[in-house]
Amino acid sequence: MPATEADQESVLRRYAAAAEDAHAELTALDRHSGDGDFGDNLRGGLRAAVAAFERSGGPAFGVLGTVFLDEVGGTSGPLLGLLFTEIARALESGADAAAWAEGAAAGLAAIQRVGEAKVGDRTLVDALAPAVDALRAGGDDAFAAAARAAAEGAARTAELRARMGRASYVGDRVKGRPDPGAVGVALLFWALATAADPAADVPSPVPSL
């Protein structure tokens, strides 16, 4: 039977493990289009969040959000912190797909207000927006559908030219490989789907390089 709930501590731990595994690929992707620190930032932030969670025991995504907002470098770190913080707020009232959808949608809205990126600008929004749509559509398969939608959205960024951020300075040269921020967000939804159902059939969003 498909999972109807996903426990946030389990999602955090799976996300942290996935960021360890994907560190080399994320770093390589970011060297291609940015300053190469995204793999470090995502892995370092998740490590720090797991450690802080184990010390404080607070809601996992509340801790995760604060760590990314306060401590993680780059522009994408604090932007992800907004997403995690909104998810934490939504999870105060449940852990089903509707609660995750509400949090992810609020996070997407906050990121777009701050970062001014739209779908198609080759940013993490390209993975987050389809994942939100899939979660909102609900159904038995919502978590796995969100993971697939995020992975597909991240993969599609390989065909996009950047309009925002540092990658915009290098024009068409970034094409051919996906945006590391989008892949990093897709990893969150991969972790969500596998935390809800360890047997879920969801592809890894990390490209083999």
Partner 1 sequence: MTSSAPFHPSDGDPVPPSLRGFARVHADLVELHENPAHLVARHRAPGRRVGLVSGGGSGHEPMHAGFLGRGMLDAVAPGKVFASPHNRQILEASRKAAGPGGVIHVVKNYTGDRINFGIAAERLRLEGIEVRRVLVDDDLATDSADTATGRRGTGATVVVEKLLGAAADDGLGIDELAELGAAFAAASRSLAVASRAQTSMHTGRPAFELAEGELEYGVGIHGERAAKSIPRPSTEDLVDRMLDEVIAGLPAGPDEVVAVVNGLGGTTLLELYGLHDLVAGGLERRGFALAGALVGTFAPALDMAGFSITLTRMRPEWRTWWAAPAVTPAFPRTAPRTTAEETV
Residue whose C-alpha is closest to residue 115's, from 97, 129, 95: 129
CA–CA gap between residue 195 and residue 205 (Å, rounded): 16
Any contact of residue 81 with partner 1 (CB under 8 A)?
Answer: yes
Question: Any contact of residue 83 with partner 1 (CB under 8 A)?
Answer: no
Using CB under 8 A as the binding rule, whether residue 92 contacts partner 1 is answered as no
Evaluated on CA atoms 200, 192, 103, 2, the torsion sign reads: positive
Instruction: Tell me whether residue 39 or residue 78 sits nearer to partner 1 (CB atom).
Output: 78
Residues 6 or more apart in contact with residue 151 via CB below 8 angstroms:
127, 186, 189, 190, 202, 203, 204, 205
The residue among 107 and 205 lying less far from partner 1, judged by its C-beta, is 107
**Contact residue for partner 1 among 95, 98, 110, 158 (CB under 8 A):** 110
Q: Return the exposure string of 155-173: e unless at least 16 CB atoms fall within 10 Å of the residue's CB, then b.
A: bbbbebbbeebebeeeeee
Smallest gap from residue 85 Cβ to partner 1 (A) = 7
Residue 27 interacts with partner 1 (CB under 8 A): yes or no: no
* 197 phi and psi angles, rounded to 5 deg: -150, 100
Task: Kindly indicate which of the ranges 7-15, 50-58, 110-118, 137-145 contains the residues binding partner 1, using the contact rule CB under 8 A.
Answer: 110-118
Residue span binding partner 1 (CB under 8 A) among the ranges 42-50, 73-81, 153-161, 175-183: 73-81
- Asked whether position 34 contacts partner 1 by CB under 8 A, the answer is no
Residues at the interface with partner 1 (CB under 8 A): 69-70, 75, 78-79, 81-82, 85, 89, 110, 113-116, 163
